[in-house]
Amino acid sequence: MDGWQVLEQAGELAARGEPFALATVVWRQGPTSGQQGSRAIITGSGEIRGWIGGACAEPSVIRQARQVIAEGKPRLLLLGTPERFGMARPGAPAGRGRGARPVAGEQDPPVPEGMIVVPIACQSEGALEVYVEPVLPVPHLVVVGRSPMAQALAGLARVLGWRTDLEDGAEFSAACVTERSMVVIATQGHGDEEAVERAVLAGPAYVGLVASGKRGAAVLGYLADRGVPRERLDQVRAPCGLDLGHTTHTEVAVAILAELVRLRASGELAAGGGPVHRAGMTRAAAHGAAAAGRAAPADPGRGRGQGGSGHGAAGPGGSSAAGPGPGEAGEATDPVCGMTVTAGPGARPLEHDGVTYYFCCAGCRAAFESDPASPVRRQARC
């Protein structure tokens, strides 16, 4: 594989978002098999593609390249001994520059600042200078939702040069993310639970939910009840973003992006396992908050109809708890929390005793499904 083929393959890896290091021989002193301009790709696992030198140089370059990938900073390596890399000194005899053989009794020339000397015991006494640079994927942000805030966040991230995908909640899946992706759920009540569950099980570097603390606790509590692993739920930031107080849609987007920039700069985002969300929002806390909510007294102003059947029950605005009749389009009242919802597939319809009920969230639907005959309305999980 020649140098140009190495660059072509480097472009393919970068397009796939795979991190690697590119090593280039910038100086050599023979005898050595490495030639000036030789290139090689070194992956995070230590695989090398290309040629930068023989058995003496290759293991050292691979070891240094893996550290370059981990740190994200380039290195200039001097493979050999310091005396072989002297810079020309004022008054030095002709030929006493870089690579000149040492003279008995003469002080070793200095190594240029910033270079790393990697001693190698090569019988050929050759030497190489290799520049190793990291090629890391640009940050990948997936924003789930189509609200004005979601669109503002996606736009701001693109200004930073991040690869940004804006997905509808129903279309979002694990295939949309990698272990290095950052996922922000901004569905804002339209399928939050399903989107968060798909996100955490995909194992990205970050999962954030745009919601209030109460709503976040309800979503995580519902997912805990469903058996989503605790270590996954503990990675969800809910609410996500820096706390800037009362803000507009665009300012919320700025707060979320600022948090992501800070986490990346501090090195807190690890591939395949994001940061733990804010204190008090662990799975146990979320589960406890939800359990306390279920035990709380019902709000008499938002009650269900007599007998819990929902027939003829009026919620806010006079909408029927069971939703519109056949052929009608309109609103319905969630029989658990009393919230007015749009009657349709997005409202998680559930048929019970010949009546179709609609719900604001998965938590309310699950609560009703577990005990639909109870005349006492349960506390909302929304």
Q: What confidence tens digit (pLDDT) does each residue in 84-127 have?
A: 655 433 333 444 445 445 544 455 556 677 788 888 766 566 78
Ordered by where they begin, the domains of the chain are 3-89+96-101+108-135 (no CATH), 140-294 (3.40.50.720), 298-370 (no CATH)
The pLDDT value recorded for residue 166 is 96
SS3 (DSSP) at 8: helix
User: Angle 362-370/192-202 helices, nearest 10 degrees?
Assistant: 110
For residues 187 and 257, is the Cβ–Cβ distance under 8 A?
no
pLDDT band of 151, cuts 50, 70, 90:
very high
Exposed / middle / buried, residue 99 (Cβ in 10 Å: 0-12, 13-18, 19+): middle
What is the band of 252 on the pLDDT scale with cuts at 50, 70, 90?
very high
Confirm if 378 and 352 have CB atoms less than 8 A apart: no
Return the beta strands (E) in the chain as ranges.
Answer: 20-29, 39-43, 48-50, 75-79, 115-118, 127-135, 140-144, 163-167, 182-185, 206-209, 236-237, 331-333, 340-342, 350-352, 355-357
Confidence class of residue 285 from pLDDT cuts 50, 70 and 90? Answer: very low
